[in-house]
Each structure stands twice: as C-alpha cells, then as structure tokens.
Amino acid sequence: MRARQLLAGTFAAGLTLLAAAAPATAETEAGSSTAPAIPADAKWKPYRSAPFTTTAGQLCAFPISSEPVRDEERVAVLHTFPDGSPREEVYMGDLMVRFTNLDTGKSVEQDLSGMMFVEYGADGSYTLTTIGPVGVGFQPKDNYPTGMYTLDGYHVVFTAPGRTYREIQVDHGTEHNICTDLD
C-alpha cells in the first residue's frame, strides 16, 4: 500500500501508476531484459486507483482529470527492506481510465491494463519497469516531453530522489500522449 499511497500522492504531480496482467518478460533493443519474477506464493491485495485533477501546464497545456471507470487491480510486495517496508512491488489487473479536458469537457477512455513493477531505492528514488499499456505522467522538469502518456511495450522509467526529475531509461515500445486526444 505504501507504493500506491506514495504514487497516488504524486499522481496529480505527473505520475500515474496504472497496471494489469501481461507476460513477465520482454525483449529490449540491447538484447534480452527480464522483468522481475513473481513468486507463485505472492500475497495479492486489492488496489484501487484514485481519481486526480491537474492544473494547466502540469501534464497538459490545460487542466485534466482522471477517473477510473473499471478497476480490478491488485498489488503484491515482492521484496522488503530490513524494516519491513516494500522494496519492490508489482501491480496488475484490469484498469480503464477516463481522462477529461476540464476546459472543454472532451474526454477519452484509455485501457491501462499493463503490469508495473516498482523498485524503491534507499535514497528515495524509484524505478518503474512496465509492460504496457500503463499510464505515466511527465512534468516540464522531466527528461521527456511534458504529457500524460500511455506507455505500451517494455519501458523502464527512473524517478530521481525527491521527484527532481524523471526519465525513460529503456524504451522498447510506443508512447502516446493522451493530451493530444483531449486538445
């Protein structure tokens, strides 16, 4: 729950972690990369994505809202730090989200039923390993064009300590800026 609470708190600031079932391995341009294994005895718990609203310029040139319309997600802790807090979690499950341009009322639904592994660094950084489609937001300070993206395929996204910046480190798939659908 720590991850989604952390992520839900930063979601409106440009992070969307939306996940679901997909194969646990993927090929990258540099060769074979394997997503972390999910143990057969993983302890799954239900998870529900929270709606959010952003201001103009935060993710899109206009304010947007996001609201799950179908949400059957679940989360499992794969590894913990010595204090018992999650070091690595996996999110998966059926998720359909409606994004709305709050200036015009135009909306679009996105299937974000991919799989996302979240690995937390002791320094406050975290890395998202995704097998899409999943949603990830990028702010003006990030090393990627600002927007609310559907990432499909295999991606690794690093977020620096204190959310000072975010960047895509592995890109083996497609990225679609949902803002273009709402403009």
What is the SS3 assignment for 103-121?
CCCCEEEEECCCEEEEEEC
* pLDDT mean by block of 10 residues, the chain; 183 residues: 36 33 36 70 94 97 98 96 96 97 98 97 96 96 97 97 96 97 97
Q: What does the alpha-carbon distance between residue 24 and residue 38 come to, in Å, rounded to a whole number?
A: 8
Owning domain of residue 144: 2-21+51-182
Q: What does the alpha-carbon distance between residue 86 and residue 3 come to, in Å, rounded to a whole number?
A: 8
In a domain, 30, yes or no: no
Contact between 56 and 89 under an 8 Å Cβ cutoff? The reply is no
Q: Please report how many Cα atoms fall inside a 13 Å half-sphere around the Cα of residue 38, on the Cβ side.
A: 19
Can you list the positions of beta strands (E) in 1-145? 25-28, 31-34, 44-47, 52-53, 64-80, 86-101, 107-111, 115-120, 126-131, 134-138
In a domain, 46, yes or no: no
In a domain, 128, yes or no: yes
In a domain, 38, yes or no: no
Contact between 34 and 15 under an 8 Å Cβ cutoff? The reply is no
Contact between 102 and 90 under an 8 Å Cβ cutoff? The reply is no
In a domain, 81, yes or no: yes
In a domain, 44, yes or no: no
Q: Which of 150, 153, 155 is nearest to 170 (CA)?
A: 155
Residue identified by tokens 């239900």 is: 46
The pair of structure tokens assigned to 30 is 């540099």
Q: What is the reported pLDDT for 25?
A: 37
In a domain, 37, yes or no: no
In a domain, 82, yes or no: yes
Task: Please tell me the total count of domains within the chain.
Answer: 1
pTM: 0.80
